[in-house]
Amino acid sequence: EVQLVESGGGLVQAGGSLRLSCTASGLSLDEYVLGWFRQASGKEREGLGAIDSLTGRTYDSDSVKGRFTISSDRGKGTVYLQMTSLKPEDTAVYYCAAVHTTYYTTSYYLYPPSYEYWGQGTQVTVSS
């Protein structure tokens, strides 16, 4: 059974930083791309970026480039989302998701329907 468990969310002041973790079980990071998404209240789910842990290649969204960084630790089966310079508009539920490595385009890996497995999400709230 595949499980993705996010952690690290919470309340932070504007300008602060948070690091989210997503620990995967039941799959290998060598075979799956893991992506990060967020969904603010009343809005569609938005792709933030993804990482192919085998090659280290990342697929980044222009909307958060320069502030959010994705990394992974294959030994721990964990993918991270480091968020800096947080803004109130970053408030959302953050999800990680996994898809078998197939294509190599940013648009594919930022598109939520591309993904097979999803975590339960972790809330991030940025206060002004």
Q: How confident is the model at residue 62 (pLDDT cuts 50, 70, 90)?
A: very high
CA 10/CA 25 separation, integer angstroms: 23
CA 65/CA 48 separation, integer angstroms: 9
Q: What is the pLDDT of residue 102?
A: 80
Count CA atoms within 13 Å of residue 41 on its CB side: 5
Q: What is the pLDDT of residues 11-59, one digit of tens each?
A: 999 999 999 999 999 999 999 999 999 999 999 999 999 999 999 999 9
Task: Please answer whether residues 31 and 12 qualify as being in contact, where contact means their C-beta atoms are separated by less than 8 angstroms.
Answer: no
Q: What is the DSSP letter of 91?
A: -
Q: What is the pLDDT of residue 107?
A: 93
For the cut 80, the answer to whether the pLDDT of residue 103 exceeds it is no
> Could you give the 3-state DSSP secondary structure of residue 49?
strand
Task: Please answer whether residues 119 and 97 qualify as being in contact, where contact means their C-beta atoms are separated by less than 8 angstroms.
Answer: yes
CA 57/CA 9 separation, integer angstroms: 25
Percentage with pLDDT > 90 across the chain: 95
Q: How confident is the model at residue 120 (pLDDT cuts 50, 70, 90)?
A: very high
